Amino acid sequence: MHCCIATMKQCNKIYYNRMPELPEVETIVRQLNKKVKSLKITKVWFDYPKLLKGEINQQNFKEIVEGKTILKVAREGKNIIFHLSGGWSLIIHLKLTGRILVGNDDFIAEDPYVHFKMELSDGIYLALSDLRKFAKIILEKTEKIKTLEEIKKLGLEPLAKDFTFEAFDEALAKKRSGKIKNILMDQSVVSGIGNIYANEILWKAKVSPFKDIKLLSLKEKREIYEAIKKILQEAIKLRGSTINDEMYRDIKGEMGGYGKLLKAYHQEKCARCGTPIKRTLEKGRATFYCERCQN
Ligand SMILES: [Zn+2]
Protein backbone atom coordinates (compact mmCIF):
# COMPACT_ATOMS: atom_id res chain seq x y z
CA MET A 1 0.00 0.00 0.00
CA HIS A 2 1.09 3.44 -0.80
CA CYS A 3 0.53 5.36 2.35
CA CYS A 4 3.16 7.27 4.17
CA ILE A 5 3.16 5.35 7.42
CA ALA A 6 6.95 5.19 7.49
CA THR A 7 7.09 8.96 7.53
CA MET A 8 4.08 9.56 9.76
CA LYS A 9 5.90 12.15 11.77
CA GLN A 10 6.49 14.22 8.70
CA CYS A 11 2.89 13.65 7.60
CA ASN A 12 1.54 14.88 10.91
CA LYS A 13 3.39 18.10 10.44
CA ILE A 14 2.78 18.82 6.81
CA TYR A 15 -0.66 17.42 6.17
CA TYR A 16 -2.26 17.99 9.52
CA ASN A 17 -5.86 19.01 8.90
CA ARG A 18 -5.90 17.79 5.31
CA MET A 19 -9.13 15.94 4.91
CA PRO A 20 -11.46 15.07 2.06
CA GLU A 21 -13.51 18.13 1.18
CA LEU A 22 -16.71 18.58 -0.80
CA PRO A 23 -15.36 17.47 -4.23
CA GLU A 24 -13.81 14.31 -2.80
CA VAL A 25 -16.85 13.38 -0.70
CA GLU A 26 -19.21 14.19 -3.59
CA THR A 27 -17.14 11.93 -5.88
CA ILE A 28 -17.38 9.09 -3.35
CA VAL A 29 -21.14 9.59 -2.95
CA ARG A 30 -21.75 9.56 -6.72
CA GLN A 31 -19.69 6.41 -7.12
CA LEU A 32 -21.47 4.74 -4.20
CA ASN A 33 -24.85 5.44 -5.77
CA LYS A 34 -23.70 3.59 -8.89
CA LYS A 35 -22.18 0.65 -7.00
CA VAL A 36 -24.18 -0.08 -3.86
CA LYS A 37 -27.61 1.50 -4.26
CA SER A 38 -30.37 -1.12 -3.73
CA LEU A 39 -27.95 -3.74 -2.40
CA LYS A 40 -28.75 -5.52 0.84
CA ILE A 41 -26.38 -5.48 3.81
CA THR A 42 -25.91 -9.11 4.84
CA LYS A 43 -23.17 -8.82 7.44
CA VAL A 44 -21.37 -6.15 9.47
CA TRP A 45 -17.84 -6.42 10.89
CA PHE A 46 -15.82 -4.09 13.14
CA ASP A 47 -12.37 -4.37 14.65
CA TYR A 48 -12.31 -0.89 16.17
CA PRO A 49 -15.73 -0.17 17.67
CA LYS A 50 -14.62 3.27 18.85
CA LEU A 51 -15.32 4.53 15.32
CA LEU A 52 -18.97 4.12 16.23
CA LYS A 53 -20.32 7.29 17.84
CA GLY A 54 -23.75 8.12 19.16
CA GLU A 55 -26.04 6.11 21.38
CA ILE A 56 -26.16 2.80 19.55
CA ASN A 57 -23.65 0.16 20.65
CA GLN A 58 -21.91 -2.34 18.39
CA GLN A 59 -24.33 -5.21 19.09
CA ASN A 60 -27.42 -3.12 18.43
CA PHE A 61 -25.74 -1.61 15.38
CA LYS A 62 -25.31 -5.08 13.85
CA GLU A 63 -28.85 -6.09 14.65
CA ILE A 64 -30.31 -2.96 13.10
CA VAL A 65 -28.13 -2.79 10.00
CA GLU A 66 -27.94 -6.44 8.96
CA GLY A 67 -30.73 -7.23 6.55
CA LYS A 68 -31.36 -3.61 5.55
CA THR A 69 -31.15 -2.35 1.97
CA ILE A 70 -29.17 0.73 0.91
CA LEU A 71 -31.85 2.94 -0.64
CA LYS A 72 -29.55 5.76 -1.66
CA VAL A 73 -26.39 7.58 -0.67
CA ALA A 74 -26.36 11.34 -0.02
CA ARG A 75 -24.00 14.02 1.20
CA GLU A 76 -24.42 16.69 3.86
CA GLY A 77 -21.31 18.87 4.03
CA LYS A 78 -18.46 16.35 4.30
CA ASN A 79 -20.70 13.62 5.73
CA ILE A 80 -21.62 10.55 3.65
CA ILE A 81 -25.15 9.37 4.42
CA PHE A 82 -26.43 5.90 3.56
CA HIS A 83 -30.22 5.93 3.72
CA LEU A 84 -31.31 2.41 4.66
CA SER A 85 -34.65 0.65 4.54
CA GLY A 86 -36.63 0.63 7.77
CA GLY A 87 -36.15 4.36 8.39
CA TRP A 88 -32.48 4.22 9.41
CA SER A 89 -29.49 6.19 8.13
CA LEU A 90 -25.81 5.42 8.48
CA ILE A 91 -23.53 8.45 8.53
CA ILE A 92 -19.80 8.28 7.88
CA HIS A 93 -17.37 11.18 8.23
CA LEU A 94 -13.95 10.31 6.84
CA LYS A 95 -12.06 12.90 8.90
CA LEU A 96 -8.33 12.95 8.07
CA THR A 97 -7.42 9.58 6.62
CA GLY A 98 -10.69 7.69 6.15
CA ARG A 99 -11.41 5.95 2.85
CA ILE A 100 -14.44 4.10 1.60
CA LEU A 101 -13.57 1.08 -0.50
CA VAL A 102 -15.99 -1.00 -2.53
CA GLY A 103 -15.06 -4.24 -4.21
CA ASN A 104 -14.67 -7.96 -3.75
CA ASP A 105 -13.10 -9.60 -0.72
CA ASP A 106 -9.58 -9.67 -2.23
CA PHE A 107 -9.65 -5.95 -3.04
CA ILE A 108 -10.70 -5.06 0.51
CA ALA A 109 -8.13 -7.44 2.03
CA GLU A 110 -5.31 -5.55 0.29
CA ASP A 111 -5.86 -2.55 2.57
CA PRO A 112 -4.29 -3.01 6.03
CA TYR A 113 -6.32 -0.23 7.67
CA VAL A 114 -9.84 -1.57 7.22
CA HIS A 115 -11.67 -1.28 10.56
CA PHE A 116 -15.29 -1.56 9.46
CA LYS A 117 -16.76 -3.67 6.72
CA MET A 118 -20.20 -4.55 5.41
CA GLU A 119 -20.87 -7.56 3.21
CA LEU A 120 -23.50 -6.71 0.63
CA SER A 121 -25.60 -8.84 -1.68
CA ASP A 122 -23.84 -9.72 -4.99
CA GLY A 123 -20.61 -10.60 -3.10
CA ILE A 124 -19.60 -6.93 -2.84
CA TYR A 125 -17.98 -5.45 0.25
CA LEU A 126 -18.09 -1.87 1.45
CA ALA A 127 -15.26 -1.06 3.83
CA LEU A 128 -13.98 1.89 5.83
CA SER A 129 -10.20 2.05 5.91
CA ASP A 130 -8.65 4.56 8.28
CA LEU A 131 -4.95 4.85 9.01
CA ARG A 132 -5.40 7.22 11.94
CA LYS A 133 -8.79 6.00 13.16
CA PHE A 134 -10.40 9.44 13.47
CA ALA A 135 -13.32 8.59 11.16
CA LYS A 136 -16.80 8.62 12.60
CA ILE A 137 -19.74 6.27 12.08
CA ILE A 138 -23.19 7.18 13.39
CA LEU A 139 -26.41 5.20 13.03
CA GLU A 140 -29.55 7.24 13.48
CA LYS A 141 -33.21 7.23 12.57
CA THR A 142 -33.52 8.98 9.19
CA GLU A 143 -36.10 11.40 10.59
CA LYS A 144 -33.62 12.49 13.25
CA ILE A 145 -30.45 13.07 11.25
CA LYS A 146 -31.15 16.77 10.74
CA THR A 147 -31.03 17.17 14.51
CA LEU A 148 -27.53 15.66 14.83
CA GLU A 149 -24.88 18.19 15.80
CA GLU A 150 -22.79 17.21 12.71
CA ILE A 151 -25.67 18.05 10.35
CA LYS A 152 -27.52 20.77 12.21
CA LYS A 153 -24.54 23.14 12.27
CA LEU A 154 -23.97 23.04 8.49
CA GLY A 155 -24.35 26.29 6.57
CA LEU A 156 -25.02 26.83 2.87
CA GLU A 157 -24.59 23.90 0.49
CA PRO A 158 -22.52 25.25 -2.43
CA LEU A 159 -23.95 22.82 -5.02
CA ALA A 160 -27.57 23.62 -4.16
CA LYS A 161 -29.77 25.89 -6.26
CA ASP A 162 -30.35 28.18 -3.28
CA PHE A 163 -26.61 28.95 -3.04
CA THR A 164 -27.08 32.38 -4.58
CA PHE A 165 -24.80 35.37 -4.22
CA GLU A 166 -27.39 37.00 -1.96
CA ALA A 167 -27.46 33.97 0.35
CA PHE A 168 -23.64 33.90 0.47
CA ASP A 169 -23.45 37.63 1.19
CA GLU A 170 -26.02 37.25 3.97
CA ALA A 171 -24.11 34.34 5.53
CA LEU A 172 -20.92 36.47 5.55
CA ALA A 173 -22.79 39.39 7.08
CA LYS A 174 -23.93 37.19 9.97
CA LYS A 175 -20.30 36.52 10.85
CA ARG A 176 -19.49 40.26 10.96
CA SER A 177 -15.71 39.89 11.07
CA GLY A 178 -12.88 37.35 10.72
CA LYS A 179 -10.26 36.43 8.13
CA ILE A 180 -11.95 35.37 4.91
CA LYS A 181 -10.05 32.07 4.68
CA ASN A 182 -11.16 31.02 8.16
CA ILE A 183 -14.72 32.06 7.37
CA LEU A 184 -14.74 29.98 4.15
CA MET A 185 -13.64 26.94 6.15
CA ASP A 186 -16.27 27.54 8.83
CA GLN A 187 -18.81 24.77 8.11
CA SER A 188 -21.63 26.87 9.58
CA VAL A 189 -21.19 29.50 6.83
CA VAL A 190 -20.62 27.36 3.71
CA SER A 191 -20.34 23.59 4.13
CA GLY A 192 -17.76 21.36 2.48
CA ILE A 193 -14.82 23.75 1.99
CA GLY A 194 -11.56 22.82 3.74
CA ASN A 195 -7.97 23.95 3.51
CA ILE A 196 -7.13 22.99 -0.07
CA TYR A 197 -10.17 24.59 -1.71
CA ALA A 198 -10.16 27.67 0.54
CA ASN A 199 -6.61 28.40 -0.67
CA GLU A 200 -7.58 27.76 -4.30
CA ILE A 201 -10.77 29.84 -4.16
CA LEU A 202 -8.97 32.89 -2.74
CA TRP A 203 -6.14 32.57 -5.25
CA LYS A 204 -8.68 32.53 -8.08
CA ALA A 205 -10.63 35.45 -6.59
CA LYS A 206 -7.36 37.40 -6.04
CA VAL A 207 -8.23 38.07 -2.41
CA SER A 208 -5.79 37.80 0.50
CA PRO A 209 -6.63 34.90 2.83
CA PHE A 210 -6.04 37.24 5.77
CA LYS A 211 -8.39 40.00 4.68
CA ASP A 212 -11.15 40.67 7.19
CA ILE A 213 -14.61 40.03 5.72
CA LYS A 214 -15.81 43.44 6.86
CA LEU A 215 -13.26 45.00 4.49
CA LEU A 216 -14.31 43.01 1.42
CA SER A 217 -15.76 45.01 -1.46
CA LEU A 218 -18.89 43.85 -3.24
CA LYS A 219 -16.73 42.94 -6.24
CA GLU A 220 -14.42 40.81 -4.10
CA LYS A 221 -17.34 38.98 -2.53
CA ARG A 222 -18.73 38.28 -5.99
CA GLU A 223 -15.35 36.97 -7.18
CA ILE A 224 -15.12 34.67 -4.15
CA TYR A 225 -18.67 33.41 -4.70
CA GLU A 226 -18.00 32.66 -8.38
CA ALA A 227 -14.69 30.96 -7.52
CA ILE A 228 -16.39 28.69 -4.97
CA LYS A 229 -18.83 27.42 -7.58
CA LYS A 230 -16.31 27.12 -10.39
CA ILE A 231 -13.52 25.41 -8.45
CA LEU A 232 -15.75 22.92 -6.64
CA GLN A 233 -17.48 21.94 -9.88
CA GLU A 234 -14.20 21.53 -11.77
CA ALA A 235 -12.73 19.48 -8.93
CA ILE A 236 -15.77 17.17 -8.89
CA LYS A 237 -15.38 16.63 -12.64
CA LEU A 238 -11.85 15.36 -11.99
CA ARG A 239 -12.94 13.25 -8.99
CA GLY A 240 -11.31 15.50 -6.39
CA SER A 241 -7.71 16.20 -5.44
CA THR A 242 -5.07 13.72 -4.42
CA ILE A 243 -1.99 15.64 -3.30
CA ASN A 244 1.53 14.38 -2.72
CA ASP A 245 0.62 12.58 0.50
CA GLU A 246 -1.43 10.32 -1.84
CA MET A 247 -3.98 9.90 0.93
CA TYR A 248 -7.27 10.58 -0.81
CA ARG A 249 -8.67 7.77 -2.97
CA ASP A 250 -12.04 7.20 -4.53
CA ILE A 251 -13.97 3.98 -3.82
CA LYS A 252 -11.98 2.10 -6.46
CA GLY A 253 -8.72 3.12 -4.79
CA GLU A 254 -7.91 5.60 -7.57
CA MET A 255 -6.43 9.08 -7.10
CA GLY A 256 -8.33 12.27 -7.91
CA GLY A 257 -7.20 14.29 -10.93
CA TYR A 258 -7.58 17.84 -9.63
CA GLY A 259 -4.37 17.72 -7.57
CA LYS A 260 -2.43 18.50 -10.76
CA LEU A 261 -4.49 21.63 -11.42
CA LEU A 262 -3.96 23.26 -8.03
CA LYS A 263 -2.76 26.83 -8.38
CA ALA A 264 -1.84 27.80 -4.81
CA TYR A 265 -1.93 24.81 -2.44
CA HIS A 266 1.65 23.44 -2.18
CA GLN A 267 2.65 25.29 -5.35
CA GLU A 268 5.98 27.03 -5.85
CA LYS A 269 5.13 29.88 -8.18
CA CYS A 270 1.99 31.84 -8.90
CA ALA A 271 0.53 30.57 -12.19
CA ARG A 272 -0.59 34.14 -13.02
CA CYS A 273 2.43 36.31 -12.28
CA GLY A 274 5.32 33.97 -11.45
CA THR A 275 5.87 35.35 -7.93
CA PRO A 276 6.88 32.62 -5.46
CA ILE A 277 3.82 31.38 -3.56
CA LYS A 278 4.05 32.32 0.10
CA ARG A 279 3.27 29.83 2.80
CA THR A 280 2.37 30.50 6.43
CA LEU A 281 1.47 28.02 9.12
CA GLU A 282 -1.15 28.59 11.78
CA LYS A 283 -2.30 25.86 14.19
CA GLY A 284 -0.85 23.23 11.89
CA ARG A 285 -2.78 24.53 8.90
CA ALA A 286 -0.89 25.95 5.95
CA THR A 287 -2.01 28.95 3.96
CA PHE A 288 -0.69 29.45 0.43
CA TYR A 289 -1.06 32.71 -1.48
CA CYS A 290 0.50 35.12 -3.94
CA GLU A 291 1.44 38.34 -2.23
CA ARG A 292 1.37 40.20 -5.51
CA CYS A 293 -2.02 39.04 -6.90
CA GLN A 294 -3.97 38.62 -3.69
CA ASN A 295 -4.68 41.80 -1.79
ZN1 LIG B 1 0.48 36.14 -8.55
Q: Tell how far the Cα of 292 is from the centroid of ligand 1, in angstroms.
A: 5
Q: What is the pLDDT along the chain (295 residues), one digit of tens a residue?
A: 333 333 333 444 444 446 899 999 999 999 999 999 999 999 999 999 999 998 899 999 999 999 999 999 999 999 999 999 999 999 999 998 999 999 999 999 999 999 999 999 989 999 999 999 999 999 999 999 999 999 999 999 999 999 999 999 999 999 999 999 999 999 999 999 999 999 999 999 999 999 999 999 999 999 999 999 999 999 999 999 988 778 889 999 999 999 999 999 999 999 999 999 999 998 888 999 999 999 9
Does the annotation mark 23 as catalytic? no
Please, what are the domains in the chain?
36-152 (3.20.190.10), 165-289 (1.10.8.50)
For 165, the enclosing helix (H) or strand (E) is: helix 165-175
- The pLDDT, as a whole number, for residue 11 is 40
Q: What is the pLDDT of residue 261?
A: 95
Write down the pLDDT at residue 285: 86
pLDDT at 247: 83
Amino acid (1-letter code) at residue 171: A
Cα of 272 to ligand 1 centre, how many Å? 5
In the annotation, is 18 catalytic?
no
Q: What is the pLDDT of residue 273?
A: 97
CA dihedral 130, 133, 134, 140 (to 10 degrees): 80
> CA angle 224-226-231, nearest 5°?
90
From the CA of 269, how far away is ligand 1's center (Å)? 8
How would you list the strands of the sheet with 79-84, edge to edge?
52-53, 136-141, 88-93, 79-84, 70-76
Provide the 10 A C-beta neighbour count for residue 49.
13
If you measure from the C-alpha of residue 21 to the centroid of ligand 1, how many angstroms do you get, rounded to a whole number?
A: 25
21 is catalytic: yes
CA of 180 to the centre of ligand 1 (A): 18
Q: Say whether 78 is catalytic.
A: yes
Which listed residue (20, 23, 158, 209) is catalytic?
A: 20
Catalytic one of 72, 229, 285, 292: 285
pLDDT number for residue 17: 46
Give 294 Cα–ligand 1 centroid separation in angstroms: 7
From the list 78, 221, 239, 249, the catalytic residue is 78
Residue 80: what residue type?
Answer: I
Instruction: Output the pLDDT for position 115.
Output: 96
